[in-house]
Amino acid sequence: MRSGRRVGLVTIGESPRVDITSEIKPILGIDVELMECGALDGLSRDEIRNLLPKPSDYVLVTRLRDDTVVKLSKIKIIERMQRCINYLEDYVNVIGLLCTGDFPELSSRRLMVEPSRLTMNVVSSLSGVRRLGVIVHDKDQMRMEEERWRRIISDVVVIPVSAYTSSEYDFRRAAEYLRASNVDVVVLDSLGYSIDMRNVVREVSGKPVILPRTIMAEVIRELSA
């Protein structure tokens, strides 16, 4: 039986993603029940290693339950993500993807919030953004992210700082670089980045910072009210 206050969350890694849900649950409301499903749920470490990206693949980065950080090939996990969506559809009215990657291949019979499209539409709606700063997990994502964001902003500065292995010092260094690069807005381009990370980057860079996890949560709250 479906509930209007039950929300489904799909992660590219293993569920549950307590690091994310602990920050979005207060936004969604204490009466919202979360159901999670992970593309890597039930897989052995050997099976997960088989999902590593090749040099030409679309690279995704996630964290496992034991905090191990892994890179994944998008094309190798799409089917497993769709299975998660199909499962959750029978129990929820709204589904959120816990990843800012582009997933045009995925579909749902329910309302589905895609942080990639959501975040890009937010940036597109802003006037006066001449240079955009983007922080990603890994250097292997930089070229892909530059091409992706240049669809809407011609001048993009991308810098890698992992949400999972980097220190506050690393975020401060990145923020200083973006401030010196004179960007107008910074996007922390992953659901893995936290409110504390956003606050550090905003403080040091002196620029507005867009955090996909909180934007997604605000939209889901409106849809599931």
Domain layout of the chain by residue ranges: 3-114+213-224, 118-211
CA 71 – CA 13 distance, rounded (Å):
10
Helix (H) or strand (E) holding 148: helix 142-149
Q: The domain 3-114+213-224: what is its CATH number?
A: 3.40.50
For residue range 165-215, list pLDDT tens digits in order. Answer: 999 999 999 999 999 999 999 999 999 999 999 999 999 999 999 999 999
CA 32 – CA 127 distance, rounded (Å):
34
Is the Cα dihedral 193, 151, 143, 156 positive or negative? negative
Of 200, 224, 205, 190, the C-alpha closest to 61 is 190
CA 193 – CA 211 distance, rounded (Å):
7
For residue range 143-162, list pLDDT tens digits in order. Answer: 999 999 999 999 999 999 99
pLDDT of residue 3: 44
CA 202 – CA 207 distance, rounded (Å):
6
Q: Which of the four pLDDT bands, split at 50, 70 and 90, describes residue 225?
A: confident
Phi first, then psi: give them for residue 29, nearest 5 degrees: 115, 145
Q: Is the pLDDT of residue 4 over 80?
A: no
Residues 6 or more apart from 152 whose CB is under 8 A from it?
Answer: 120, 123, 124
pLDDT of residue 171: 98
- Return the CATH class of domain 118-211: alpha beta
What residue ranges in the chain does DSSP mark as E strands?
3-11, 33-38, 59-63, 69-73, 92-97, 111-113, 131-136, 155-160, 185-188, 209-210
> Are 73 and 79 spatial neighbours (Cβ–Cβ below 8 Å)?
no
pLDDT of residue 5: 85
Share of the chain above pLDDT 70, in %: 98
pLDDT of residue 224: 87
Phi first, then psi: give them for residue 121, nearest 5 degrees: -70, -35
pLDDT of residue 81: 98
* HSE-up (13 A, CA, CB side) for residue 164: 19
Mean pLDDT confidence for 113-126: 97
Mean pLDDT confidence for 62-82: 96
Identity of the residue numbered 28: L
Share of the chain above pLDDT 90, in %: 95
> Are 85 and 36 spatial neighbours (Cβ–Cβ below 8 Å)?
no
Mean pLDDT confidence for 40-46: 97
pLDDT of residue 194: 98
Q: Is the pLDDT of residue 1 over 60?
A: no
Q: Is the pLDDT of residue 30 over 90?
A: no
| Tally of helices (H runs) and strands (E runs) in the chain | 8, 10
- Under DSSP, is residue 137 helix (H, G, I), strand (E, B) or coil? coil
> Are 51 and 77 spatial neighbours (Cβ–Cβ below 8 Å)?
yes
Q: Is the pLDDT of residue 2 over 50?
A: no
- State the residue for tokens 């091409």: 147
Average pLDDT, the chain: 96
Q: Is the pLDDT of residue 62 over 50?
A: yes
pLDDT of residue 221: 95
pLDDT of residue 26: 96
- Under DSSP, is residue 7 helix (H, G, I), strand (E, B) or coil? strand
